[in-house]
Structure 1
Amino acid sequence: MEEQAYIAAYFEGTLPEEEKTAFEERCLNDPLFAREVADYVMMRDALREELHQQKHQRFAELYQEVAAETATRHPYFGIKNLVWYAAACIALIATWLIFFTNTPPKDLANAYAATHFKQLGVTMGAGEQERMQQGIAAFNNRHFTEASNIFKTLSKDSSLKAEAVKNLGITQLMAGDYTGAVDSFDALARMDLFTNPGLFYKAIALMQRSGPADIEAARKCLKEVVEQDLPGKSEAEVWLKKL
């Protein structure tokens, strides 16, 4: 199958499930291919005529951001450009899945995780903060077992408990330990914080686990996120229409 036909087949939903997974992994690991996908998505003018006005506006805004950035860069120059195309490609695919398709809950959650949980932010500090940075560095290098052990220790009696619990849940999620992630995010949601994404993250973990009662439990979490105006509200409003 030619490259353009292969890309088109993904967005038309005609690829077998195993090829769909391989396609998404290739977008993450092959910047040149990611650039082709990003270009393909941006050129789909016909798509805009088929979208509901509100959804079209959300995609068009992202399209304009990508197009404006592309215009300032030589398309084939430098590794930074390739990395940028990979990031743009992932963002466009995630937007497609979240807003424009009847996507299974697990795929919605996977798309969100791929764009928001790929790396944890690094800050400087000493003592417990230094230990936290070691855990973050382990996570960013995909050493999930090491990262989990560090975050578990810090989540017990640390001044950084809330951040440690959040990072532990994200690590468990990315490592495929969805039950552990549900428990960690549930603990986070119960903490009295100024801003708390725990309930929304718990819904993501439930959607990824997709057990017999998980989707209904995720729907309940998302409703609370919307009603209480918690972090993740905009995504929750869209997802509730799809669950």
Structure 2
Amino acid sequence: MNTDLETIENYVTGQLTPDERVRFEAALRTDPAVAEALAFYMLTKQVAGEQAREQRKAELDALRKPASMWSVPMRWAAAASITVLLGLGWYFLRPTNSPEMATRLADDYVAEHFMELPTTMDGGSSGSTTVDSLKTAVGLVNSGKLAEADALFLDILKRQPTNDRALKYAGIVSLRQGNYDQAITLFHRLSERTDLYSNPGLFYESLALLKRGLPMDKEQAKKLLDEVITRNLDGKAEAEKLIKSF
């Protein structure tokens, strides 16, 4: 596998799509070059972090000196050092718990739970048009034909706009394709079904918000996760793990 620095950076910061993450981790297990590249990246990051900490200590020591003792070169060096600290230096010193970590955990959940859909269809008549269509669409998902499955799920929703299984599976397919706006809409519609024994709509919507990553999305995702926990909704255990990563 030809792995560049950007791919490794995106993997570490949780920016790969679920499919990309699965492929990268498969390569880690089978391709020594990929494993070595990741190890080198992490070592470089650690060294840079140590250098940033030493640099910060030197800056603080310099700041304790009276300004009158600073030479012109020292003043320019201090200004440059602070710029680096606020840029790359802060990147390496930031805490482990971060929105990026939450996104990575969301990726892990998607990779574990959304890559293959269950083929068993409980409820309804096995010969009904809707159930047969759902089975066909699920088969397409499990064969990797996401675009075809997406079209079929949406066709079902045109006829049955509140079909909970179609809403859930169409949202999952949209999420896997990176169509986060559509995924958020579908999962929100699912969450509005108040007659279901089990409804993961709010939890799935929070995952889609974390993946979309617009300025207010992570804050909104946190609110939804809090609601999932408070109301003891489907996905509570996973929501508690995600909340701890913020």
Taking the TM superposition and a 5 Å limit, the aligned residue runs for 1:78-93 are none
How many Å separate the matches in 2 of 1:184 and 1:235? 20
Moved more, 191-200 or 151-160: 151-160
| TM-score, structure 2 normalization | 0.60
The answer to whether residue 216 in structure 2 is matched with residue 224 in structure 1 is no
Cα distance per residue 1:41-61 (max 9 Å; x no partner): xxxxxxxxxxxxxxxxxxxxx
SS at structure 2 position matched to 1:181? helix
1:10-47 residue CA offsets vs partner (Å, 9 max, x unmatched): xxxxx9415756775233468756xxx9xxxxxxxxxx
1:160 and 1:19, CA in 2 relative to 1: closer, same or farther beyond 3 A? closer
Report the Cα distance in structure 2 between the residues aligned to 1:164 and 1:18, rounded to whole angstroms. 31
Distance 1:139 1:31, change over 3 A: farther
CA distance in 1, matches of 2:152, 2:176: 16
Could you tell me which residue of structure 2 aligns to residue 81 of structure 1? Answer: none
Residue 17 in structure 1 maps to residue 9 in structure 2: yes
* 1:1-243 matched pairs, under 5 angstroms: 16-18=8-10, 20=12, 24-28=22-26, 32=30, 102=97, 104=100, 105-123=102-120, 125-127=126-128, 128-158=130-160, 161-192=163-194, 193-243=196-246
Separation in 1, partners of 2:211, 2:11: 19
How far apart are residue 237 of structure 1 and its match? 1.3
Q: What does the per-residue CA deviation read over 1:60-104, in whole Å, with 9 as the maximum and x for residues that have no partner? A: xxxxxxxxxxxxxxxxxxxxxxxxxxxxxxxxxxxxxxxxx6361
Larger Rg: 2
In structure 2, C-alpha distance between the alignment counterparts of 1:23 and 1:227, rounded to whole Å: 31
Q: Is the 8 A contact 1:120 1:136 kept in 2?
A: yes
User: Structure 2 vs 1, CA of residues 121 and 230 (structure 1 numbering), >3 Å: closer, same or farther?
Assistant: same
Q: Give the aligned residue type for 1:233.
A: K
Deviations 1:88-136 (A, max 9, x none): xxxxxxxxxxxxx636122121111000101001126323211111100
Query: 1:19, 1:204 → 2: CA distance?
Result: 17
Q: Could you tell me how far 1:209 is from its partner in structure 2?
A: 0.6
Q: C-alpha distance in 2, partners of 1:135/1:31?
A: 31
After superposition, the Cα gap between the structure-2 partners of 1:222 and 1:175, relative to the gap in structure 1 and judged at 3 Å, is same
Q: Quick check: 1:165–1:185 contact (8 Å CA) kept in 2?
A: yes
Task: Tell me, in whole angstroms, the C-alpha distance in 2 between the residues paired with 1:213 and 1:204.
Answer: 14
Work out the number of aligned pairs and report it.
167
Residue 106 of structure 1 contacts residue 209 of structure 1 at CA under 8 Å; is this kept in 2?
Answer: no
Give the Cα separation in 2 of the matches to 1:225 and 1:197: 9
Q: What is the alpha-carbon root mean square deviation over aligned residues?
A: 3.0
Q: Secondary structure at the match of 1:122?
A: coil
Note closer, same or farther for the CA distance 1:110–1:122 as it changes in structure 2 (3 Å cut).
Answer: same
Q: What is the alpha-carbon distance in structure 2 between the residues aligned to residue 230 and residue 18 of structure 1?
A: 31
TM-score normalised according to structure 1 size: 0.61
Alpha-carbon shift at residue 142 of structure 1 (Å): 1.6
Percentage of matched positions with identical amino acids: 32
8 Å contact kept, 1:154–1:160: no
Q: Report the CA distance shift for 1:180/1:30 in structure 2 as closer, same or farther (over 3 A).
A: same
In 1, Cα distance between equivalents of 2:108 and 2:183: 17
Q: Give the direction of change, closer, same or farther, for the CA distance of 1:236–1:172 in structure 2 (3 Å limit).
A: same
